[in-house]
Structure 1
Amino acid sequence: MPHILVVDDEEAIRELVRRGLQLDGHTVELACDGADALDIIASRPTDFDLLLTDIRMPMMDGIALALTVGRDYPTLTILLMTGYADQRERAANLELLIHDVVTKPFSLAQIRDAVTDALAARKAA
């Protein structure tokens, strides 16, 4: 089953997404910010199929994380999420690095569908 790293500074969001994705049989790990996520990915660079990250976070935001991961781990599929229109606009310039941007708030069904779509695109590539 796919291995997903979920990155968000809000614990409630991380847990909600984890529970939803586990319903689909995915293995899910959590990180609280971009710096934490980079440490996890660097320690096991081939373990993850998808990086699902919030854009607006302290320490290292999702845009900086996506840029670094895209450069250092180009086969890792990246899916962003945000509740801020200006952050979504910032992500528009990353279409070559990311699969999509999911708008918060989202339902469990919406995030599960977005992840399924991103993983399907990864297989097709």
Structure 2
Amino acid sequence: MKNDRKKHLLLVDDSNLTQITIKKILELEGYIVDVSVSAEDALNQIKSRDIPYDLIITDIHLPQRDGFYIIDTLKSNKEYSIHKSTPIMILSADATSTTVRRAVEKGAKEYLNKPFTTKELISRIKKLLLDTEESLYSLLIECLNEEIERAKRGEYELSLVIASREFSEGILIEEVVKEIKRELRKVDTVIELGKSTLALVLPFTNLNGANVVVNKIKANLNEKWYFGITNFPNECQTVEELYRLAKQRINNKINKEINEKEQNKEEMKK
């Protein structure tokens, strides 16, 4: 049976403008939102609940105690044991790699830099509340369907890029996303499909343009990634076709690489 219970979120931020803006955005999306202005206030609200929040969204820099204190308390204090597994999302203007890594290591599930767009905020929250690979794929499908409809109305092209990392372990995927976004426009979307796979949705972009973007991204990544690029409407007409072809192109590149290595081994034996 489908669970139609509205998701209940806690927003922790000492900026009145941020509180009002984010609360309004999330309520329009159907979420119930409580607001706290400090770590102590947030912990009191959390402690008073018999049912954990579905998600806690907090700034790092708060009066007196910071956002890390909230994470540490929930993870280590037995009085908050039922809230220990509540996912936590950081919203902060502090975008240094040290701070991001510290937040993730302490247990934050997501890190979104200020300023951010409404689209980015909603996408990240949906990803956190849908934590299975199938659900993340559904999020991509939803995004692509919306972008294809816009492309049809505006009569323009869009490209989908699927990026797959050679090894699942390595640099935190959040840091990879941060690097990739430096090469993207505000209209572009990045969706994490797991620890080693990303999807890039690029409106107003043909295949040549998408290849330019991918080459710029490759130059900034220290790890080996495989990229599959597809285009609407010139190559594919549906979301499923776009995704399937992009994945197939990645598989083709991997298989070609494996075959070349095998051939080199055979030649060395001769």
The verdict on a shared fold, with TM-score over 0.5 as the criterion, is yes
**Are residues 1:117 and 2:127 paired?**
yes
| 1:110 CA drift (Å) | 1.3
Runs of 4+ in 1 over 3 A off after TM superposition: none
Are residues 11 and 45 of structure 1, via their aligned partners in 2, closer, same or farther at CA, if it must alter by over 3 Å?
A: farther
**More off after superposition, 90-99 vs 101-110:** 90-99
| 1:91 CA drift (Å) | 4.0
**One-letter code of the match for 1:90?**
T
Q: Secondary structure at the match of 2:130?
A: helix
Counterpart-to-counterpart distance in 2, 1:119 and 1:45: 19
Which residue in 2 is equivalent to 1:16? 21
Counterpart-to-counterpart distance in 2, 1:94 and 1:74: 15
Instruction: Report the number of matched residues.
Output: 122
**More off after superposition, 39-48 vs 51-60:** 39-48
**Are residues 1:93 and 2:102 paired?**
yes
| 1:117 CA drift (Å) | 1.0
**One-letter code of the match for 2:15?**
E
| 1:89 CA drift (Å) | 2.3
**More off after superposition, 42-51 vs 16-25:** 42-51
**Are residues 1:106 and 2:111 paired?**
no
Are residues 106 and 26 of structure 1, via their aligned partners in 2, closer, same or farther at CA, if it must alter by over 3 Å?
A: same
The 5 A counterparts of 1:62-73 are 62-71=67-76, 72=80, 73=83
Q: Secondary structure at the match of 1:85?
A: coil
**Contact preservation (8 Å) 1:63, 1:91:** no
| 1:45 CA drift (Å) | 4.5
**Contact preservation (8 Å) 2:59, 2:91:** yes
TM-score by structure 1 length?
Answer: 0.88
Measured on the aligned residues, the alpha-carbon RMSD in Å equals: 1.8
**Contact preservation (8 Å) 1:3, 1:50:** yes
**One-letter code of the match for 2:19?**
R
Q: Secondary structure at the match of 1:25?
A: coil
Q: Secondary structure at the match of 2:129?
A: helix
TM-score by structure 2 length?
Answer: 0.42
1:19-62 alpha-carbon deviations (Å, 9 max, x no partner)? 11111100000000111000000011524110000011112111
Which residue in 2 is equivalent to 1:52? 57
**Unaligned segments of structure 1, at least 5 residues:** none
Are residues 105 and 27 of structure 1, via their aligned partners in 2, closer, same or farther at CA, if it must alter by over 3 Å?
A: same
Q: Which has the larger radius of gyration?
A: 2
Q: Secondary structure at the match of 1:75?
A: coil
**Unaligned segments of structure 2, at least 5 residues:** 1-5, 136-270
**Are residues 1:40 and 2:45 paired?**
yes
The 5 A counterparts of 1:22-33 are 22-33=27-38
1:60-108 alpha-carbon deviations (Å, 9 max, x no partner)? 111111111233322211001110134x623413425111110000112
Which residue in 1 is equivalent to 2:8? 3
Which residue in 2 is equivalent to 1:80? 90
